[in-house]
Amino acid sequence: MTAALTLNTTRKRPRFNDLSLSGQFAITGGAIMLLAMTLAGYFTATIVSRATVENTAGSTALFMDSFISPLVQELATDDALQPDNARRLDDLLGGESFKRRFPYLEIWKQGGQIAYSTTPALVGRRFPPPPGLLAALSGKVSAQYTDLRAREHVLRSFDTSYLEIYVPIREDLSDRVIAVAEIHETTEPLEREISQVRLYSWLAIAASTLLIMLSLFAIVYRGSRVIEAQRAELRDRIVQIQRVSSQNLTLRQKAQRASSRITEMTEAYLRRIGAELHDGPAQLIGFAALKVEHARSARTAANRDMELKAIDTALADAIRDIRHISKGLMLPEIEPLSLQEVIDRVVRTHESRTGSEVQLRIGIVPSAVPPAIKICAYRFLQEGLNNAFRHAGSGPATVSCDLVDSTLVLCVRDQGGPNTLAPGAGLGLIGLRERAESLGGSFHIATNRSGSTIEIHLPIIMGEQDA
């Protein structure tokens, strides 16, 4: 239980910056769009509701003025209606269907005096003029909801809010406002109409907002997908670059070590050649030089001939030793040869010199390779065959060559049993490893009961020509 609690508390919640661009846009854009939709819906609904009220007020005012105005023209000079006109208004306004929609009506004069009312107790009384009355006296139709605190409404114990519509009544000849009709209209039909208009307004704004949000989200989502794909590709490329850089560093270090070792081995090789020259040809030539003095001091022709013969023998041996040493230093002319011809020459030379048998298996071989590859292949086969003959006896050796995934694979196998490989003359196996690594390749040795195998892998760029 404790472990589970610890795991839950240590689990990190996803941060906003960790989300994709489309996720960030969905959160921020959704919040902004929701706020904008709310504000737009509120103001639109308010404006539409107000317009609906004004439209209703205008229609009601036009309807009422058509039959009220002719009956109250006497208010241009009097403060109250004649009983006949009042009775006619009572008859017009007393219908059941009319009273359900317009339950109350007052006609106001200047100064807040009521000249006529469907509530007889208010006729002739004065009250503080409502704001709608003042606007109507200036010639404007106005509408407002009932102020239940107004004195004229308190006297009638109003507990229901009506829509009060103030209609200016004008004199026929002068178009002067002579009175104002205050009409109380029930709000149920109006509220239903306003609710329906508000609903349609909210639905239209919500649909528009959702359409805009989805359109923008689709664009951002597609861009986010492209950016994420590019990021993934860049991450893969960075990983590849780091891997290649690490490989290049490793290869460079191997090349530096190989170059250093080859330099050391070359110096040792030169010292050995110098020792061979000093101990062989130099000694013979020195001996011949001594014999020259003996030949000069010889008293008889027979002694002179004997000394000259010794000189001739010493010089011939020196020349033979020098040629033997030079032959080991020099490579045959292999630049004009193809790689297959180089391999074949090494094998045939080894067979003729040692009298042993070599089985040659050549697969796919590139027609043109750099001279460094040819020299490395020549030295590898020369050293491998010499080791096979020296340590594995006269048993047949096998040489194979093939191209595997742009890599040249050279292999020498013998049948000498385990532990038959040992460094020989020339650069030796250590030198071959360093030479292979300096060319970006690798060198492998394997021994078992059936024999030993040395193998070299050299990268080849297809199509490159000899330098």
d(CA 349, CA 410): 18
Structure tokens at 387: 């080791």
Nearest residue to 136 via CA among 171, 166, 175: 166
Amino acid 399: pLDDT: 92
The pair phi, psi for residue 425, each rounded to 5°, is: -75, 175
DSSP state of 420: -
Instruction: Provide the residue-wise pLDDT of the chain in tens; the chain has 467 residues.
Output: 444 444 454 455 567 677 777 777 778 877 887 888 788 777 877 787 777 777 777 777 777 777 778 888 887 777 778 888 888 888 777 777 777 888 888 888 888 888 888 888 888 888 888 888 888 888 888 888 888 888 888 888 887 778 888 888 888 778 788 888 888 888 777 777 777 877 888 888 888 888 888 888 888 888 888 888 888 899 999 999 999 999 888 888 877 777 777 777 777 777 777 777 776 677 778 777 777 877 777 778 788 888 788 788 878 878 877 877 776 665 667 778 888 888 888 888 888 877 788 889 988 888 778 888 888 888 888 888 888 887 766 578 899 999 888 889 999 998 765 554 544 444 467 777 877 887 888 898 888 877 888 999 998 865 444 43
User: Look-up: residue for tokens 């149920």?
Assistant: 188
The SS3 call for residue 403 is: strand
Structure tokens at 130: 């409502």
Amino acid 236: pLDDT: 92
Structure tokens at 111: 């100064």
Structure tokens at 325: 């040493």
Q: What secondary structure does DSSP assign to 188-246, as a single string?
A: HHHHHHHHHHHHHHHHHHHHHHHHHHHHHHHHHHHHHHHHHHHHHHHHHHHHHHHHHHH
The continuous run of DSSP H or E covering 114 comes out as: strand 114-117
Structure tokens at 341: 């011809």
Nearest residue to 197 via CA among 57, 53, 45: 45
Query: b vs e for 91-118, b when ≥16 Cβ sit within 10 Å of the residue's Cβ?
Result: eebeeeeeeeebebbbbbbeebbbbbbb
Per 3-state DSSP, the chain is made up of helix, strand and coil in percentages (nearest 5) of 60, 15, 25
The strand pairing partners of 452, in sequence order, are: 447
Amino acid 279: pLDDT: 64
d(CA 465, CA 467): 6
The continuous run of DSSP H or E covering 143 comes out as: strand 142-145
Count how many residues are written for the chain.
467
Structure tokens at 118: 């469907």
d(CA 278, CA 284): 9
d(CA 171, CA 190): 31
d(CA 107, CA 89): 11
